[in-house]
Each structure stands twice: as C-alpha cells, then as structure tokens.
Amino acid sequence: MSEELEKADAPKKVVDDDRRWNYSIHYQRRVVDLIPESARTAIDVGCGEGMFARELASRHLAVTAIDEDGPTLERALAQDTTGIDYLEGDFLTHDLTLEGYDVVSAIAVLHHVDIAVGLERLKALVAPGGVVLVVGASKGTMKTMPKEIGASFADKAQRLWRGWWDHGTPSAWPPPHTFDEVRDAAVEILPGCEIKNHLLYRYTLTWSKPEA
C-alpha cells in the first residue's frame, strides 16, 4: 500500500554518490544537462536510493521521488533528503499530479513495466513545456550481438578501473523489450522525441512536451 515515508530509523548511507558507477549512472549524465533552466518541479519515478533525485534537487528543483520497494527507500531516506519528498508506491497507479512536473525522469525503470503503459504515464505526468528524461535497458538481438560482444571487453576494463555499484534494488533482467520495440512505442506516444541506442543494452530517450 502506498504511503509517504518518514526518515526515522533508516539505515546509514554506505557509498557516496560520486563513488558510484554503473552503466545507468554513466548514461544518466547524458540527460541531466537537458533540464530546462526554467524548471521548478520534478518527479523521479522508480527512484531507488535517490541518486538521480538528489541530482535534481541539487539543481534547486522541488523533487518528488517514488519507488515501490520499501527497503530501498529506507536507504534513500538515510541520505540527503533536502528538497526531496519520498513516496512509497507504484508510479503507474499512485495518485500523482497529472501535468504537475517540469521534469519527469525514469532511470532504469521502463523495462520493469509494459513499455507503452510506462511511456503514456510519463507523458501524463510532465507539464506543458517540461521534459521527459529516460535512461532505459533493452533486450539484445542477433542484430546487436556483434557490437555487444565487442563492448563486453570494454565492460571488463571499466569495472576494473571504476568499480561497480550494485543498487541492491529488485531488478528485472533480461529486459523484455528490444530497442526497436522501445523506439517504435516512443515515436508513437512521444512524437518528436529523441532516442539513442547505446552499448551494453542501454538507451537514452528525451522528449519536450509542447506548451499548452
């Protein structure tokens, strides 16, 4: 059942944000600079431990962050909550303000839900003139396999060099949607969006909602 969480009795922070690295974190840095200067409010769906929510809050946005995994949110609440209102619940069904957020972000979230349903929900939440920022994971295909095999060597080097942060949140792997399926749904639901396929089964998607 969805409920607003309190900070009491949450466990201590384990890893500083600037020491965390994985592929979703790597690619989220490609979308964060697209936040409009005029943005004042944001929602981070499937927020996990709140790393991206904290990034949004550091840019002086009033942030709502929602996730349905209670233990993960306890870890988020043990960290800096300045400017962030954490909620426990499913972003698809929770009573959130439609067209209420200048920034709607979803980092490594959409492969947990039906892609069309997830995109429609993000579209419904973002305010006119606002932006949707997505870092997603897609399923490999025979077409993408050769470049992914090559990228696996870079993967090993990156892990040795940077280390690897495991978010510890329930995950869904492999992703159910191929990149082509995600792209086709995005083009239909978010006309004019920009979607890019990246190595190691990641993609970025950005969309600006037209002004009313």
Tell me the two tokens of residue 169: 């949140």
- At 57-106, the pLDDT tens digits run 999 999 999 999 999 999 999 988 999 999 999 999 999 999 999 999 99
Mean pLDDT score, 168-188: 84
Domains of the chain in sequence order: 3-208 (3.40.50.150)
Tell me the two tokens of residue 30: 């490609």
- pLDDT tops 50 at residue 3: no
Q: What pLDDT is attached to residue 205?
A: 97
Of residues 212 and 122, more confidence is placed in 122
**Highest-scoring range by mean pLDDT, 16-25, 91-100, 143-152, 158-167:** 91-100
Cα distances (angstroms) measured from residue 138 to each of 96, 115, 116, 172: 27, 11, 14, 11
Q: What pLDDT is attached to residue 19?
A: 60
Best CA proximity match to 85, nearest among 103, 67, 109: 67
Count the Cβ atoms, other than its own, within 10 Å of residue 186: 23
